[in-house]
Each structure stands twice: as structure tokens, then as C-alpha cells.
């Protein structure tokens, strides 16, 4: 899903980021920092070539993390 506006209140994408970050071994030092890092990573994803309309947002996020 191609989104160009960052809105952390629309938290599905950020939540998906947190799940994938944990799966990749991210260590949580504090929830506020973790959430902020997920917002930053989500913003990078939104600008990436993996953010496309032809797949679900979760599929795109998975592809993004698989190619980091």
C-alpha cells in the first residue's frame, strides 16, 4: 500500500514495524524509544521501493525487511 503521509496515529504500519524489528533481533531499551525507532523505520519504508500498491502493506514491509 503506497502511503506518502506519515501519521503515527495510524499505527498499523508502525505496529508491523515493531513486530519485524523484534523478529530481526532488535533489543528494547524502553518502549518510548522502541516506538520512536519503529516510526523512523516506517518512514524509511514509506520512501522505499518496497512500498507498492500491488501488495498488502504487511507483504511490502516483509519484503523491505527481507532486503535490508
13-65 tens-digit pLDDT: 899 999 999 999 998 889 889 988 998 999 999 999 999 999 999 999 999 99
Cell numbers for 8:
503515527
Q: Is 52 helix (H, G, I), strand (E, B) or coil?
A: coil
Domain positions in the chain: 12-66
**Euclidean distance between CA atoms 43 and 57, whole angstroms:** 13
Number of Cβ atoms within 10 Å of the Cβ of 55 = 15
pTM for the whole structure:
0.81
Amino acid at each position: 500500500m503506497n502511503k506518502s503521509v506519515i501519521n503515527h496515529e495510524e499505527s498499523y504500519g508502525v505496529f508491523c514495524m515493531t513486530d519485524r524489528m523484534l523478529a530481526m533481533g532488535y533489543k528494547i531499551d524502553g518502549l518510548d524509544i522502541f516506538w520512536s525507532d519503529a516510526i523512523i523505520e516506517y518512514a524509511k519504508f514509506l520512501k522505499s521501493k518496497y512500498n507498492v500498491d500491488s501488495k498488502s502493506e504487511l507483504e511490502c514491509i516483509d519484503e523491505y525487511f527481507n532486503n535490508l
